[in-house]
Chain A
Amino acid sequence: MSMVKLTKTEKRIAFRQKVLDLAGANIMRCYQCGECSGGCPESAVMDLLPNQVIHKIQLGDESVLDTNTFWICSSCLICSARCPKGIDIAKVMESLREISLRAKKSYVTLEALTKEELEELPQIALISSFKKQTS
Chain B
Amino acid sequence: MTEKIAYYPGCTAKSYAKYMDLTAREVMKKFDIELVELTRWTCCGTFFGLAEDNLTSQLAPMRNMIRTREDGFTDLTTTCSMCYNTLKRANILIQNDEEKASRLNAFMYEEEDYEGDVRVWHLLELLLEKVDIAGIAKKIVNPLKGLKVAPYYGCTLLRPKEVTIDKNPEKPTILSDLIFALGAEAVETPYMTECCGSYLTVKDKHLVADRTNRIIGSAARREADLLVVSCPLCQFNLDRRQKEARELNSALPEIPVVYFTQLMALALGVDVKELGFHEHYVDPTPVLRKRKLLGTPMKVPVKVKK
Chain A residues within 8 Å of B, Cβ to Cβ: 21-24, 41-42, 45, 72, 74-78, 80-81, 88, 90-91, 94-95, 98, 107-108, 113, 117, 120-129, 131-133
Q: Are B155 and A128 in contact, with the CB atoms below 8 A? A: no
**Which of the residues B10, B46, B202 comes within 8 Å of A108, measured between beta carbons?**
B202
User: Which one of B91-99, B137-145, B192-200, B249-257 contacts A?
Assistant: B192-200
Cα distance A92–B159 when bound, in Å? 16
**Which of the residues A42, A107, A121, A131 comes within 8 Å of B46, measured between beta carbons?**
A131
Is the CB of B1 closer than 8 A to any CB of chain A? Answer: no
Task: State which residues 49-86 of B face A: CB under 8 Å.
Answer: 49-54, 57, 80, 82
- From B46, which residue of chain A is reached at the shortest CB distance? A128
Cα distance A75–B49 when bound, in Å? 10
| Listed A/B pairs (26) with beta-carbon separation below 8 Å | A22-B53, A23-B50, A41-B197, A42-B207, A72-B204, A74-B198, A74-B200, A75-B155, A76-B198, A78-B159, A98-B51, A108-B202, A122-B16, A123-B12, A123-B16, A124-B12, A124-B16, A124-B17, A124-B82, A124-B231, A125-B201, A125-B202, A128-B47, A129-B199, A132-B47, A133-B203
Q: Shortest beta-carbon distance, A50 to chain B, in Å?
A: 13
Q: Are B52 and A124 in contact, with the CB atoms below 8 A? A: no
Answer whether A41 and B194 are a contact pair too, CB < 8 Å, given A76-B159, A128-B47. yes
**Which of the residues B80, B194, B207 comes within 8 Å of A72, measured between beta carbons?**
B207
Which B residues are in CB contact (< 8 Å) with A128? 46-47, 82, 198-199, 233
Q: Shortest beta-carbon distance, A126 to chain B, in Å?
A: 6
**Which of the residues A21, A22, A42, A113 comes within 8 Å of B202, measured between beta carbons?**
A113
Q: Are B51 and A125 in contact, with the CB atoms below 8 A? A: no
Answer whether A122 and B195 are a contact pair too, CB < 8 Å, given A21-B52, A81-B169. no
Which A residues are in CB contact (< 8 Å) with B207? 42, 45, 72
B136-166 vs A: 1/0 string, CB under 8 Å?
A: 0000000000000000000100011100000
Is the CB of B108 closer than 8 A to any CB of chain A? Answer: no
Q: Shortest beta-carbon distance, A65 to chain B, in Å?
A: 15
Q: Are B203 and A22 in contact, with the CB atoms below 8 A? A: no
- From A42, which residue of chain B is reached at the shortest CB distance? B207
Which B residues are in CB contact (< 8 Å) with A108? 202-203
Q: Which of A94, A98, A125 has the most CB of B within 10 A?
A: A125
Cα distance A129–B169 when bound, in Å? 25
Give the size category of B's interface with A.
Answer: 35 or more
Q: Are A131 and B47 in contact, with the CB atoms below 8 A? A: yes
Is the CB of B15 closer than 8 A to any CB of chain A? Answer: yes
Which B residues are in CB contact (< 8 Å) with A95? 50-51
**Which of the residues A94, A121, A124 comes within 8 Å of B11, measured between beta carbons?**
A124
- From B169, which residue of chain A is reached at the shortest CB distance? A81
Which A residues are in CB contact (< 8 Å) with B170? 81
**Which of the residues B46, B51, B195, B211 comes within 8 Å of A124, measured between beta carbons?**
B46
Task: State which residues 26-57 of B face A: CB under 8 Å.
Answer: 43, 45-47, 49-54, 57
Q: Which of B15, B195, B211 has the most CB of A within 10 A?
A: B195
Which A residues are in CB contact (< 8 Å) with B169? 81
Q: Are B236 and A122 in contact, with the CB atoms below 8 A? A: yes
Cα distance A98–B194 when bound, in Å? 25
Is the CB of B232 closer than 8 A to any CB of chain A? Answer: yes
CB-CB nearest 9 A-B residue pairs: A76-B195, A122-B16, A129-B202, A94-B50, A77-B159, A128-B46, A129-B199, A128-B199, A74-B198
